Amino acid sequence: MSITNVSLATEDPFQQLTLRTGFYLQSIPDIALADMEVALRFWSEEVGKHAGFKAFITIYKSLDQMRTDFYQGKINFIVSSPLPIVDTFDPALLADGYKIVHSDTSAKNQLLIITHKNSGVNHFKDIKNKQLSILISDPISEMFVDLLSLKYFGKQAKEVFPNIDRIQRSNQLIFKLFFKKTDLILVYRNAYQLAIELNPQIKSNTRVISRLANIPRGLGFFHRKVNPKFRESVLAEMEKLETHPRGRQLMALFHAEKIQRSSIADLKTTQQLKKKYLQLIDRVRKQ
């Protein structure tokens, strides 16, 4: 789905000095589509105006379409959660971009598995026949639960948990757990921390039994063919996003504390996780 028409005035679209962002919608499940569209449109226009270049944004529901457009140069910058990038895009075509972080310390960018204290679950091994609730479109969560299920039970998650409840937003997951409507949830640490800030009773009534560290919530990468100077100038503006009123508004929407420069190295944890996951799958199949 394209909300902005990108005109290709020159023969090589990568040489056009405009920022053409492709945004994979399902990588940020907590945010409503309408809010996202409005916020990104304003952001791209205002930041571009401020930095002296034109900016456009396209929100994608299909990764294949997003990949095709990126390879053809219709978009020259992609934004998504790390796993879709690892799954879909050739790392060799990616150049440095930015990432959304919730804290300076990467330890806080964690995916947590949380139970209720009275549920009797102290370890992932104890989760048999328990109700699991995860975010509705978070491939990392799906893969992490699958990975742990394969690791501890030699089965995929859908076999270990007869009913996996998929929910739109993180705070809904936390509410379900707090009010004992589910036994196990997967949420990112920033959402959990935020929920505790709003109600400290959550911390005293829940327990984290497992965590996956260094998982950035969202990342952006340029196409390698984009003019390096232009890339640097855009990234320099991105790093100043928090100084801009509209930028702060956008960061608040993503529950982000900072925008930092990203590199291919930021995909490493995800790549390793996927590699391990694939190994376990392969092992189980062989058995």
Partner 1 sequence: MAVKIRSRFFLRVFIHFASLVLVIMLSFTFMMIPMQKKALLQIMYTQGVTVSRSIIQASSDAIITNDFGFIVEHNVEVLKNNPSIHYIAIAPLRGKTIWVDQTGWRVLEDPISLLTELQSEHIEYEIEHQQWEAEGYHLVYPIEFSGIKWGWLHVDFATDEYNAYIRDMYLQLVYLAGIAIVLLMVIGYFFARWVTRPVSIISDLATQVANGNLEVQSKIKRHDEIGVLSNSFNKMVQSLQQSKQKLENYNQQLEQEVKKRTLALDALNQNLDKKVKEEVHQRQEQERLLIHQSRLAAMGEMIGAIAHQWRQPLNALSLVLQNQHMNYQAGQLNDQAMSRSMEKSERLINKMSTTIDDFRNFFKPNKQAELFNINALVHTTVNLLDAQFKSHNIEINIACEENLNIKGFQGEFSQVILNLLNNAKDILLERQIVSPNISISAHRIANGISIRVSDNAGGIPDDIINKIYEPYFTTKEEGKGTGIGLYMSKMIVENNMMGKLYHYNNSEGAAFMIEIPTQLPK
Q: Report yes or no: 89 and 219 within 8 Å, Cβ to Cβ.
A: no
CB 145 within 8 A of CB 132: yes
| Binding of partner 1 by 249 (CB under 8 A) | no
Question: How many whole angstroms separate alpha carbon 22 and alpha carbon 2?
Answer: 9
192 binds partner 1 (CB under 8 A): no
Q: Which of residues 81, 115, 172, 269 is near partner 1 by CB under 8 A?
A: 172
Strand partners, 212: 111
Stretch that binds partner 1, among 65-73, 172-180, 225-233, 259-267 (CB under 8 A): 172-180
How near is the Cβ of 40 to partner 1 at its closest, in Å? 21
Considering beta carbons, is residue 65 or 205 the nearer one to partner 1?
A: 205
CB of 173 to partner 1, least distance (A): 9
**List 91, 120, 154, 200, residue binding partner 1 (CB under 8 A):** 200
Handedness of CA 117, 29, 80, 254 (dihedral sign): negative
Residue among 185 and 234 whose Cβ is closer to partner 1: 185
- Which of 137, 148, 50, 87 has its CA nearest to residue 274? 87
| String of DSSP letters for 254-266 | TT-SEEEEE-GGG
Candidates 31, 175, 260, 263; binder of partner 1 (CB under 8 A) is 175
H/E run at residue 112: strand 111-116
176 near partner 1 (CB under 8 A):
yes
| List of residues contacting partner 1 (CB under 8 A) | 171-172, 174-176, 178-179, 181, 197-201
